[in-house]
Amino acid sequence: MGVTQSSSATYRTACLDDVERMKELGVQGWETTYSDFVHEHNRRKYLNGDFWSLDRLREVVADPDAINLMAEQNSQVVGFINTEKLPDGRYEITRLYVDAETRGSGIGRRLMELTFDELKRRGASEVLVNAFGDNHAGRRFYERHGFELIEDTWTTVGDQTLSDVWYAVSLN
């Protein structure tokens, strides 16, 4: 996509220089939203693992099958979304984080809408997302945008076993 303007924020495709800020927003998201249910040592372990490594984020940004959008306000990146193509051809929103100071102003919704537009353009019919079962604000956000629970399972983070939920929404 080119550059899109909406409610004082600007949206653009991510580039390799964005990965450090992505990681920063991810760490902040984990510290603000997940600290209630993921213990500190497990948060640290996960954030230092492959999923949040700068190399992994660079791979995602460079992947032509992925959709990676950044939101900027006052020349500062305040949010981002990564959507990756799964081996079975479906798509998954793998990271969606908005700066804690800027949450609740529609940036998350716009990042998702722009992603949906691009997915439809590519002919995708469905998108998946995964959240911790105890991430109630995140779950409400997805449910308000039409996502339906498809699997209620468990995942391991360090030495904790945590509720893990999967949602899907049809793009048709």
Ligand X SMILES: CC(C)(COP(=O)(O)OP(=O)(O)OC[C@H]1O[C@@H](n2cnc3c(N)ncnc32)[C@H](O)[C@@H]1OP(=O)(O)O)[C@@H](O)C(=O)NCCC(=O)NCCS
Rounded CA gap, 52 and 15, in Å? 16
Interacting span for ligand X (CB under 6 A) from 47-55, 103-111, 114-122, 155-163 = 103-111
User: Which region among 6-14, 54-62, 130-138, 147-155 touches ligand X (by CB under 6 A)?
Assistant: 130-138
User: Contacting ligand X (CB under 6 A), which of 107, 124, 165, 169?
Assistant: 107
Task: Tally Cβ neighbours within 10 Å of residue 2.
Answer: 6
Instruction: Find the residue with minimal CB distance to ligand X.
Output: 108
Nearest-approach distance from CB 30 to ligand X, in angstroms: 8
Q: Compute the least distance from the CB of residue 63 to ligand X, in Å.
A: 20
Say which amino acid occupies 159.
D
11 Cβ contact partners less than 8 Å away, ≥ 6 residues apart: 1, 3, 4, 5, 69, 70, 71, 72, 110, 111, 114
Quick check: 157 binds ligand X (CB under 6 A)?
no
Phi, psi of 20 (to 5 degrees): -65, -40
Q: Based on the shown chain and the rule CB under 6 A, indicate whether residue 106 belongs to the binding site for ligand X.
A: yes
Q: How far is the CB of 144 from ligand X (least distance, A)?
A: 5
Q: Which of 15, 137, 149, 150 binds ligand X (CB under 6 A)?
A: 137
Extract the tokens encoding 160. Answer: 């904790």
Q: Which residues of 14-50 are buried (b: 16+ CB within 10 A; e: fewer)?
A: beeebbebbbebbeebbeebbeeebeeebbeebbeee
Q: Could you say whether residue 67 binds ligand X (CB under 6 A)?
A: no
The reply to whether 10 sits near ligand X by the rule CB under 6 A is no
Instruction: Verify binding: residue 138, ligand X, rule CB under 6 A.
Output: yes
Site residues (vs ligand X, CB under 6 A): 29, 33, 96-98, 103-109, 131, 135, 137-138, 141, 144
